[in-house]
Structure 1
Amino acid sequence: MAKNMYSLMLMDEVVSQIDRIAAQSSTNRSNLINEILADYVSFVTPQKHIQNIFESISAIIDDVAALTVQDMAASSVICIKSALSYKYRPTIRYSVELFSDNKSLGELRVTFRTQSAELLMEITHFLSLWMQLEQHYISKFDSKDSISYAIEQGRFKRTLMYPKNSSLHNSDEVSKAIADYIQMFDEILKGYLNGEYNTDADVEYRYLNYLKSGLTVI
Protein backbone atom coordinates (compact mmCIF):
# COMPACT_ATOMS: atom_id res chain seq x y z
CA MET A 1 0.00 0.00 0.00
CA ALA A 2 1.32 3.43 -0.97
CA LYS A 3 2.24 5.97 1.66
CA ASN A 4 2.45 9.75 1.30
CA MET A 5 3.80 12.56 3.44
CA TYR A 6 1.25 14.72 5.29
CA SER A 7 1.74 17.74 7.54
CA LEU A 8 0.10 17.55 10.97
CA MET A 9 0.04 19.98 13.87
CA LEU A 10 0.61 17.96 17.05
CA MET A 11 1.34 18.88 20.65
CA ASP A 12 4.95 18.31 21.71
CA GLU A 13 3.76 16.32 24.73
CA VAL A 14 1.73 14.00 22.50
CA VAL A 15 4.66 13.43 20.15
CA SER A 16 6.91 12.70 23.13
CA GLN A 17 4.56 9.94 24.30
CA ILE A 18 4.25 8.60 20.76
CA ASP A 19 8.04 8.39 20.47
CA ARG A 20 8.27 6.61 23.83
CA ILE A 21 5.71 3.98 22.83
CA ALA A 22 7.27 3.60 19.38
CA ALA A 23 10.67 2.88 20.94
CA GLN A 24 9.13 0.28 23.25
CA SER A 25 7.41 -1.35 20.27
CA SER A 26 10.54 -1.36 18.05
CA THR A 27 8.87 0.86 15.47
CA ASN A 28 9.00 4.54 14.52
CA ARG A 29 6.79 7.58 14.97
CA SER A 30 5.17 7.47 11.52
CA ASN A 31 4.34 3.76 11.67
CA LEU A 32 2.85 4.03 15.14
CA ILE A 33 0.68 7.04 14.27
CA ASN A 34 -0.42 5.23 11.09
CA GLU A 35 -1.46 2.18 13.14
CA ILE A 36 -3.29 4.30 15.74
CA LEU A 37 -5.25 6.13 13.05
CA ALA A 38 -5.99 2.88 11.21
CA ASP A 39 -7.39 1.35 14.42
CA TYR A 40 -9.51 4.44 14.98
CA VAL A 41 -11.15 4.15 11.55
CA SER A 42 -11.30 0.31 11.74
CA PHE A 43 -8.89 -0.18 8.85
CA VAL A 44 -6.66 -3.28 8.89
CA THR A 45 -3.18 -2.37 7.66
CA PRO A 46 -0.78 -5.03 6.32
CA GLN A 47 1.22 -4.73 9.55
CA LYS A 48 -1.92 -5.26 11.64
CA HIS A 49 -2.86 -8.24 9.48
CA ILE A 50 0.56 -9.79 10.17
CA GLN A 51 0.25 -9.05 13.88
CA ASN A 52 -3.17 -10.76 13.98
CA ILE A 53 -1.69 -13.83 12.27
CA PHE A 54 1.18 -14.04 14.75
CA GLU A 55 -1.16 -13.67 17.72
CA SER A 56 -3.29 -16.54 16.38
CA ILE A 57 -0.19 -18.70 15.73
CA SER A 58 0.98 -18.01 19.29
CA ALA A 59 -2.40 -19.06 20.69
CA ILE A 60 -2.32 -22.32 18.71
CA ILE A 61 1.30 -23.16 19.61
CA ASP A 62 0.66 -22.44 23.30
CA ASP A 63 -1.43 -25.64 23.34
CA VAL A 64 1.36 -27.73 21.76
CA ALA A 65 3.63 -29.21 24.44
CA ALA A 66 6.59 -29.76 22.09
CA LEU A 67 6.76 -26.14 20.88
CA THR A 68 7.34 -22.79 22.60
CA VAL A 69 6.77 -19.33 21.13
CA GLN A 70 9.67 -16.97 21.80
CA ASP A 71 9.49 -13.20 22.14
CA MET A 72 8.84 -11.46 18.82
CA ALA A 73 11.90 -9.26 18.29
CA ALA A 74 10.53 -7.89 15.02
CA SER A 75 6.98 -7.10 14.02
CA SER A 76 7.23 -9.21 10.85
CA VAL A 77 8.87 -12.29 12.41
CA ILE A 78 7.72 -14.87 14.96
CA CYS A 79 10.09 -17.48 16.44
CA ILE A 80 9.15 -20.90 17.80
CA LYS A 81 11.51 -23.17 19.73
CA SER A 82 11.59 -26.96 19.89
CA ALA A 83 14.00 -29.45 21.50
CA LEU A 84 15.29 -32.76 20.15
CA SER A 85 15.55 -35.91 22.27
CA TYR A 86 19.24 -36.21 21.54
CA LYS A 87 22.49 -35.92 23.46
CA TYR A 88 22.92 -32.43 24.99
CA ARG A 89 19.33 -31.57 23.97
CA PRO A 90 19.98 -29.66 20.72
CA THR A 91 17.29 -27.16 19.79
CA ILE A 92 15.35 -26.27 16.67
CA ARG A 93 14.26 -22.72 15.99
CA TYR A 94 11.44 -22.02 13.56
CA SER A 95 11.36 -18.41 12.33
CA VAL A 96 8.42 -17.27 10.23
CA GLU A 97 8.67 -13.98 8.37
CA LEU A 98 5.54 -12.73 6.64
CA PHE A 99 5.52 -10.41 3.64
CA SER A 100 2.91 -7.82 2.71
CA ASP A 101 3.46 -7.78 -1.06
CA ASN A 102 0.93 -10.59 -1.75
CA LYS A 103 3.37 -12.34 -4.11
CA SER A 104 4.22 -14.89 -1.45
CA LEU A 105 2.95 -15.42 2.06
CA GLY A 106 6.42 -15.33 3.60
CA GLU A 107 9.39 -17.50 4.48
CA LEU A 108 10.03 -20.26 7.01
CA ARG A 109 13.57 -20.59 8.36
CA VAL A 110 14.52 -23.62 10.44
CA THR A 111 17.77 -23.40 12.40
CA PHE A 112 19.37 -26.40 14.11
CA ARG A 113 21.61 -25.58 17.07
CA THR A 114 23.97 -28.52 17.46
CA GLN A 115 27.68 -29.28 17.18
CA SER A 116 27.12 -32.95 16.34
CA ALA A 117 28.35 -33.71 12.82
CA GLU A 118 26.44 -37.01 12.89
CA LEU A 119 23.17 -35.30 13.78
CA LEU A 120 23.66 -32.61 11.13
CA MET A 121 24.26 -35.31 8.53
CA GLU A 122 20.99 -37.05 9.49
CA ILE A 123 19.14 -33.74 9.42
CA THR A 124 20.56 -32.89 5.98
CA HIS A 125 19.35 -36.24 4.63
CA PHE A 126 15.90 -35.60 6.10
CA LEU A 127 15.73 -32.12 4.57
CA SER A 128 16.72 -33.43 1.14
CA LEU A 129 14.02 -36.08 1.41
CA TRP A 130 11.50 -33.47 2.58
CA MET A 131 12.19 -31.30 -0.46
CA GLN A 132 11.74 -34.29 -2.79
CA LEU A 133 8.41 -35.20 -1.18
CA GLU A 134 7.05 -31.67 -1.42
CA GLN A 135 8.21 -31.15 -4.97
CA HIS A 136 6.53 -34.43 -5.94
CA TYR A 137 3.28 -34.18 -4.00
CA ILE A 138 2.39 -30.53 -3.57
CA SER A 139 3.76 -28.74 -6.64
CA LYS A 140 0.25 -28.72 -8.09
CA PHE A 141 -0.94 -26.73 -5.09
CA ASP A 142 1.61 -23.94 -5.52
CA SER A 143 0.53 -20.42 -6.32
CA LYS A 144 1.82 -18.50 -9.34
CA ASP A 145 5.41 -19.05 -8.27
CA SER A 146 7.02 -22.31 -7.18
CA ILE A 147 8.12 -22.93 -3.62
CA SER A 148 11.83 -22.26 -3.27
CA TYR A 149 14.12 -24.10 -0.87
CA ALA A 150 17.64 -23.71 0.49
CA ILE A 151 19.67 -26.09 2.65
CA GLU A 152 22.68 -24.65 4.42
CA GLN A 153 24.87 -25.90 7.26
CA GLY A 154 22.40 -26.32 10.09
CA ARG A 155 19.71 -24.28 8.37
CA PHE A 156 16.72 -24.80 6.09
CA LYS A 157 14.71 -22.13 4.26
CA ARG A 158 11.40 -22.47 2.45
CA THR A 159 9.02 -19.93 0.98
CA LEU A 160 5.41 -20.02 2.13
CA MET A 161 3.01 -19.64 -0.78
CA TYR A 162 -0.68 -18.91 -1.17
CA PRO A 163 -2.36 -22.04 -2.60
CA LYS A 164 -3.80 -21.92 -6.10
CA ASN A 165 -7.48 -20.99 -6.36
CA SER A 166 -7.53 -19.88 -2.74
CA SER A 167 -8.12 -16.57 -1.01
CA LEU A 168 -6.21 -17.56 2.11
CA HIS A 169 -6.10 -14.02 3.46
CA ASN A 170 -8.21 -14.48 6.60
CA SER A 171 -5.75 -14.20 9.50
CA ASP A 172 -7.18 -17.22 11.34
CA GLU A 173 -6.92 -19.44 8.25
CA VAL A 174 -3.37 -18.30 7.50
CA SER A 175 -2.21 -18.75 11.09
CA LYS A 176 -3.70 -22.25 11.29
CA ALA A 177 -2.05 -23.26 8.00
CA ILE A 178 1.36 -22.04 9.22
CA ALA A 179 1.02 -23.58 12.69
CA ASP A 180 -0.16 -26.91 11.23
CA TYR A 181 2.77 -27.01 8.81
CA ILE A 182 5.33 -26.37 11.57
CA GLN A 183 3.75 -29.03 13.80
CA MET A 184 3.81 -31.52 10.93
CA PHE A 185 7.45 -30.79 10.08
CA ASP A 186 8.50 -30.94 13.74
CA GLU A 187 6.68 -34.22 14.42
CA ILE A 188 7.98 -36.02 11.33
CA LEU A 189 11.54 -34.75 11.80
CA LYS A 190 11.64 -35.93 15.41
CA GLY A 191 10.07 -39.26 14.45
CA TYR A 192 12.76 -39.74 11.82
CA LEU A 193 15.62 -38.87 14.17
CA ASN A 194 14.39 -41.05 17.05
CA GLY A 195 13.80 -44.07 14.83
CA GLU A 196 10.00 -44.08 14.85
CA TYR A 197 10.09 -43.51 11.09
CA ASN A 198 13.05 -45.71 10.18
CA THR A 199 13.09 -45.42 6.42
CA ASP A 200 12.42 -42.84 3.73
CA ALA A 201 9.25 -44.78 2.95
CA ASP A 202 8.08 -44.35 6.56
CA VAL A 203 8.60 -40.59 6.31
CA GLU A 204 6.73 -40.49 3.00
CA TYR A 205 3.82 -42.50 4.45
CA ARG A 206 3.52 -40.18 7.45
CA TYR A 207 3.76 -37.09 5.24
CA LEU A 208 0.97 -38.38 2.99
CA ASN A 209 -1.21 -39.05 6.03
CA TYR A 210 -0.96 -35.37 6.92
CA LEU A 211 -1.88 -34.31 3.38
CA LYS A 212 -4.85 -36.70 3.31
CA SER A 213 -6.07 -35.37 6.67
CA GLY A 214 -6.89 -32.05 5.01
CA LEU A 215 -3.76 -30.06 5.82
CA THR A 216 -3.74 -26.75 3.93
CA VAL A 217 -0.69 -26.72 1.71
CA ILE A 218 1.21 -23.42 1.84
Structure 2
Amino acid sequence: MKKSMYSLILTDQVVEKIDQIAYQEGMSRSQLIDHLLAQQVGMATPEQKIRSIMEQVADRVQKSRPLQVKVRSDSGGVQFATYLRYKYNPGIKYSFEFTNQDDGQHAVLKVSSRSTSEDLLQHLTNFFEMLSEIDEHRFQEFHNQPIMVQVSTDSNNKFARELISSEVPLEGADEEEVAQYLSNYVVMLDEALQCYFTHLGERRVPERIDRIYCHYLEDLNLF
Protein backbone atom coordinates (compact mmCIF):
# COMPACT_ATOMS: atom_id res chain seq x y z
CA MET A 1 0.00 0.00 0.00
CA LYS A 2 1.28 3.45 -0.89
CA LYS A 3 1.62 5.97 1.92
CA SER A 4 1.25 9.75 1.66
CA MET A 5 1.51 12.69 4.03
CA TYR A 6 -1.74 14.34 5.19
CA SER A 7 -2.43 17.30 7.48
CA LEU A 8 -5.01 16.72 10.23
CA ILE A 9 -6.43 19.03 12.87
CA LEU A 10 -6.79 17.03 16.09
CA THR A 11 -7.76 17.81 19.67
CA ASP A 12 -4.71 18.15 21.91
CA GLN A 13 -6.13 15.85 24.58
CA VAL A 14 -6.85 13.19 21.97
CA VAL A 15 -3.31 13.39 20.61
CA GLU A 16 -1.93 13.11 24.15
CA LYS A 17 -3.90 9.90 24.68
CA ILE A 18 -2.86 8.61 21.25
CA ASP A 19 0.79 9.20 22.12
CA GLN A 20 0.41 7.28 25.40
CA ILE A 21 -1.12 4.28 23.66
CA ALA A 22 1.43 4.45 20.84
CA TYR A 23 4.27 4.38 23.35
CA GLN A 24 2.78 1.38 25.14
CA GLU A 25 2.36 -0.46 21.84
CA GLY A 26 5.84 0.43 20.58
CA MET A 27 4.43 2.39 17.65
CA SER A 28 4.69 5.92 16.30
CA ARG A 29 1.76 8.33 16.45
CA SER A 30 1.22 8.05 12.68
CA GLN A 31 1.25 4.24 12.80
CA LEU A 32 -1.34 4.10 15.57
CA ILE A 33 -3.67 6.60 13.90
CA ASP A 34 -3.30 4.69 10.62
CA HIS A 35 -4.15 1.42 12.42
CA LEU A 36 -7.19 2.90 14.19
CA LEU A 37 -8.57 4.37 10.97
CA ALA A 38 -7.94 1.12 9.11
CA GLN A 39 -9.91 -0.80 11.75
CA GLN A 40 -12.76 1.69 11.48
CA VAL A 41 -13.09 1.14 7.71
CA GLY A 42 -12.51 -2.61 7.89
CA MET A 43 -8.99 -2.72 6.47
CA ALA A 44 -5.58 -3.89 7.66
CA THR A 45 -2.44 -1.76 7.36
CA PRO A 46 0.80 -3.31 6.06
CA GLU A 47 2.19 -3.19 9.61
CA GLN A 48 -0.83 -5.05 10.98
CA LYS A 49 -0.47 -7.69 8.28
CA ILE A 50 3.22 -8.11 9.08
CA ARG A 51 2.52 -8.49 12.80
CA SER A 52 -0.13 -11.09 12.12
CA ILE A 53 2.20 -13.02 9.80
CA MET A 54 5.09 -12.87 12.28
CA GLU A 55 2.91 -14.15 15.12
CA GLN A 56 1.96 -17.12 12.94
CA VAL A 57 5.60 -17.66 11.98
CA ALA A 58 6.70 -17.65 15.63
CA ASP A 59 3.99 -20.16 16.52
CA ARG A 60 4.81 -22.48 13.61
CA VAL A 61 8.56 -22.41 14.22
CA GLN A 62 8.19 -23.09 17.94
CA LYS A 63 6.18 -26.21 17.16
CA SER A 64 8.90 -27.49 14.80
CA ARG A 65 12.27 -26.52 16.30
CA PRO A 66 13.64 -25.94 19.84
CA LEU A 67 14.30 -22.24 19.24
CA GLN A 68 13.83 -19.36 21.65
CA VAL A 69 11.37 -16.86 20.18
CA LYS A 70 11.08 -13.13 20.73
CA VAL A 71 8.47 -11.09 18.86
CA ARG A 72 9.38 -7.41 18.63
CA SER A 73 6.24 -5.31 19.03
CA ASP A 74 7.68 -2.14 17.50
CA SER A 75 8.12 -3.43 13.95
CA GLY A 76 6.29 -6.74 14.08
CA GLY A 77 9.57 -8.51 13.39
CA VAL A 78 10.51 -11.72 15.14
CA GLN A 79 13.80 -13.14 16.38
CA PHE A 80 14.81 -16.75 17.05
CA ALA A 81 17.82 -17.82 19.09
CA THR A 82 19.68 -21.13 19.24
CA TYR A 83 23.23 -22.46 19.45
CA LEU A 84 25.49 -24.58 17.25
CA ARG A 85 26.92 -27.92 18.28
CA TYR A 86 30.41 -26.66 17.61
CA LYS A 87 33.32 -25.40 19.71
CA TYR A 88 32.01 -23.56 22.78
CA ASN A 89 28.42 -23.89 21.49
CA PRO A 90 28.28 -20.42 19.84
CA GLY A 91 24.92 -18.66 19.85
CA ILE A 92 23.06 -18.01 16.60
CA LYS A 93 20.15 -15.64 15.97
CA TYR A 94 17.67 -15.59 13.10
CA SER A 95 15.68 -12.38 12.66
CA PHE A 96 13.22 -10.95 10.15
CA GLU A 97 13.39 -7.30 9.15
CA PHE A 98 10.78 -5.58 6.99
CA THR A 99 11.18 -2.43 4.89
CA ASN A 100 8.93 -0.51 2.53
CA GLN A 101 10.53 0.33 -0.82
CA ASP A 102 9.31 1.81 -4.09
CA ASP A 103 8.54 -1.64 -5.52
CA GLY A 104 6.73 -2.87 -2.40
CA GLN A 105 7.56 -4.48 0.92
CA HIS A 106 10.76 -6.41 1.44
CA ALA A 107 11.52 -9.01 4.11
CA VAL A 108 15.06 -10.03 4.92
CA LEU A 109 16.03 -12.99 7.06
CA LYS A 110 19.26 -12.26 8.91
CA VAL A 111 21.51 -14.78 10.62
CA SER A 112 24.05 -13.50 13.10
CA SER A 113 26.55 -14.67 15.68
CA ARG A 114 28.37 -12.68 18.34
CA SER A 115 31.32 -15.04 18.10
CA THR A 116 34.61 -13.51 16.98
CA SER A 117 36.03 -16.84 15.83
CA GLU A 118 37.40 -16.54 12.29
CA ASP A 119 37.11 -20.32 11.97
CA LEU A 120 33.39 -20.21 12.75
CA LEU A 121 32.81 -17.28 10.38
CA GLN A 122 34.53 -19.16 7.57
CA HIS A 123 32.36 -22.22 8.18
CA LEU A 124 29.24 -20.04 8.16
CA THR A 125 30.38 -18.45 4.91
CA ASN A 126 30.94 -21.89 3.37
CA PHE A 127 27.52 -23.04 4.53
CA PHE A 128 25.68 -20.06 3.06
CA GLU A 129 27.52 -20.32 -0.23
CA MET A 130 26.44 -23.96 -0.38
CA LEU A 131 22.85 -23.15 0.57
CA SER A 132 22.69 -20.28 -1.95
CA GLU A 133 23.50 -22.61 -4.83
CA ILE A 134 20.82 -25.07 -3.70
CA ASP A 135 18.34 -22.26 -3.08
CA GLU A 136 18.73 -20.69 -6.51
CA HIS A 137 18.56 -24.02 -8.35
CA ARG A 138 15.59 -25.39 -6.41
CA PHE A 139 13.59 -22.15 -6.50
CA GLN A 140 13.48 -22.22 -10.28
CA GLU A 141 12.71 -25.95 -10.30
CA PHE A 142 9.87 -25.72 -7.76
CA HIS A 143 8.28 -22.45 -8.89
CA ASN A 144 9.18 -22.38 -12.59
CA GLN A 145 10.70 -18.93 -12.34
CA PRO A 146 14.29 -17.76 -11.87
CA ILE A 147 15.44 -15.87 -8.81
CA MET A 148 18.79 -14.39 -7.94
CA VAL A 149 19.69 -15.60 -4.46
CA GLN A 150 22.07 -13.16 -2.84
CA VAL A 151 23.44 -13.82 0.61
CA SER A 152 25.38 -10.87 1.95
CA THR A 153 27.63 -10.69 4.97
CA ASP A 154 29.09 -7.83 6.99
CA SER A 155 31.81 -7.29 9.56
CA ASN A 156 29.41 -8.12 12.39
CA ASN A 157 29.13 -11.77 11.36
CA LYS A 158 25.66 -11.19 9.94
CA PHE A 159 24.31 -12.99 6.87
CA ALA A 160 21.18 -11.81 5.07
CA ARG A 161 18.79 -13.50 2.62
CA GLU A 162 15.87 -11.61 1.06
CA LEU A 163 12.65 -13.68 1.12
CA ILE A 164 9.96 -11.11 0.26
CA SER A 165 10.63 -8.74 -2.63
CA SER A 166 9.22 -7.59 -5.96
CA GLU A 167 9.91 -11.13 -7.25
CA VAL A 168 8.04 -12.73 -4.32
CA PRO A 169 5.60 -9.95 -3.35
CA LEU A 170 3.65 -9.70 -0.11
CA GLU A 171 0.99 -7.41 -1.57
CA GLY A 172 -2.29 -9.29 -1.92
CA ALA A 173 -0.83 -12.57 -0.65
CA ASP A 174 -2.67 -14.86 1.75
CA GLU A 175 -1.29 -14.46 5.29
CA GLU A 176 -1.25 -18.19 6.02
CA GLU A 177 0.69 -18.97 2.84
CA VAL A 178 3.26 -16.28 3.61
CA ALA A 179 3.58 -17.48 7.22
CA GLN A 180 4.05 -21.06 6.05
CA TYR A 181 6.73 -20.03 3.55
CA LEU A 182 8.69 -17.92 6.05
CA SER A 183 8.41 -20.40 8.92
CA ASN A 184 9.39 -23.34 6.70
CA TYR A 185 12.43 -21.40 5.53
CA VAL A 186 13.56 -20.71 9.10
CA VAL A 187 13.02 -24.34 10.13
CA MET A 188 14.86 -25.55 7.02
CA LEU A 189 17.71 -23.12 7.63
CA ASP A 190 18.18 -24.16 11.25
CA GLU A 191 18.04 -27.87 10.49
CA ALA A 192 20.44 -27.46 7.54
CA LEU A 193 22.86 -25.37 9.60
CA GLN A 194 22.89 -27.92 12.42
CA CYS A 195 23.39 -30.69 9.87
CA TYR A 196 26.35 -28.87 8.34
CA PHE A 197 28.17 -28.60 11.68
CA THR A 198 27.22 -32.12 12.76
CA HIS A 199 28.74 -33.61 9.58
CA LEU A 200 31.51 -31.06 9.17
CA GLY A 201 34.01 -32.07 6.51
CA GLU A 202 31.97 -34.97 5.08
CA ARG A 203 31.67 -35.14 1.28
CA ARG A 204 27.93 -35.77 1.28
CA VAL A 205 27.01 -32.67 3.30
CA PRO A 206 25.64 -30.81 0.22
CA GLU A 207 23.38 -33.79 -0.54
CA ARG A 208 22.11 -33.84 3.04
CA ILE A 209 21.33 -30.12 2.96
CA ASP A 210 19.64 -30.45 -0.42
CA ARG A 211 17.34 -33.15 0.99
CA ILE A 212 16.48 -30.94 3.96
CA TYR A 213 15.74 -28.03 1.64
CA CYS A 214 13.44 -30.12 -0.56
CA HIS A 215 11.66 -31.63 2.44
CA TYR A 216 10.50 -28.24 3.69
CA LEU A 217 10.12 -26.17 0.54
CA GLU A 218 9.31 -28.20 -2.57
CA ASP A 219 5.57 -28.55 -1.88
CA LEU A 220 4.93 -24.92 -0.93
CA ASN A 221 2.69 -22.74 -3.08
CA LEU A 222 4.63 -19.53 -3.31
CA PHE A 223 1.67 -17.13 -3.07
TM-score by length of 1: 0.83
Aligned-partner Cα distance in 1 for 2:43–2:170: 23
Please give the alpha-carbon distance, in whole angstroms, between the structure 2 residues aligned to 1:142 and 1:159.
Answer: 19
Distance in 2 of aligned mates of 1:42 and 1:2: 18
Q: Name which of 190, 194, 198 aligns with 1:190.
A: 194
User: Displacement, 1:143?
Assistant: 6.8
8 Å Cα contact 1:18/1:29 also seen in 2: yes
Structure 1 runs not aligned, ≥5 long: none
- Offset of 1:174 from its aligned partner? 0.7
Partner of 1:95: 95
The 5 A counterparts of 1:42-191 are 42-72=42-72, 74-101=74-101, 103=104, 105-139=106-140, 141=143, 146-153=148-155, 154-161=157-164, 169-191=173-195
Question: Match of 2:212, as an amino acid?
Answer: R
Change (3 A) 1:149 1:65: closer
Quick one: which amino acid aligns to residue 123 of structure 2?
A: E
Tell me how far apart the structure 1 counterparts of residues 117 and 136 of structure 2 sit (CA, whole Å). Answer: 29
* Superposed CA RMSD: 3.0
Identity percentage over the alignment? 26
Give the aligned residue type for 1:150: S
* Pair 173,159 (structure 1): closer, same or farther in 2 beyond 3 Å: same
Q: In 2, distance between residues paired with 1:61 and 1:150? A: 24
2:61 maps to amino acid: I
**Cα-to-partner distance string for 1:10-63 (whole Å, 9 max, x where unaligned):** 2x3332221111122232222211211211221111111111111211222232
Give, in angstroms, the shift of residue 157 of structure 1. 0.9
Summarize the Cα distance change of 1:131–1:142 in structure 2 as closer, same or farther, 3 Å threshold: farther
Specify the code of the residue in structure 2 equivalent to 1:180.
Answer: N
Does structure 2 conserve the Cα–Cα contact (< 8 Å) formed by 1:144 and 1:164? no
Stretch of structure 1 that moved more, 162-171 or 54-63: 162-171
| In structure 1, C-alpha distance between the alignment counterparts of 2:147 and 2:8, rounded to whole Å | 40
Aligned with 2:94: secondary structure?
strand
Gaps of 5+ in 2: none
Residue 138 of structure 1 aligns to a residue whose secondary structure is helix
Distance in structure 2 (CA, Å) of the matches to 1:40 and 1:17: 18
Residues in 1 aligned to 2:171 and 2:31: alpha-carbon distance in whole angstroms = 27
State the shift of 1:95 in Å: 1.3
Inter-partner Cα distance in structure 2 for 1:131 and 1:145? 11
Q: How many equivalent residue pairs?
A: 216
Mean Cα displacement is larger for which, 99-108 or 57-66? 99-108
Query: What do residues 145-204 of structure 1 show as CA deviations (whole Å, max 9, x unaligned)?
Result: 634321345221111146679987111211111011000010011011012893323323
Aligned residue identity for 2:80: I
Larger displacement relative to structure 2 (168-177 or 133-142): 133-142
Relative distance call for 1:71 and 1:46 in structure 2 (3 A) is closer
Structure 1 residues 197 and 177: alpha-carbon distance in aligned structure 2, compared to 1, 3 A threshold: farther
Describe the superposition over 1:42-91 as per-residue Cα deviations: whole angstroms up to 9, x where unpaired.
11111111111112112222323421212416315321112222333211
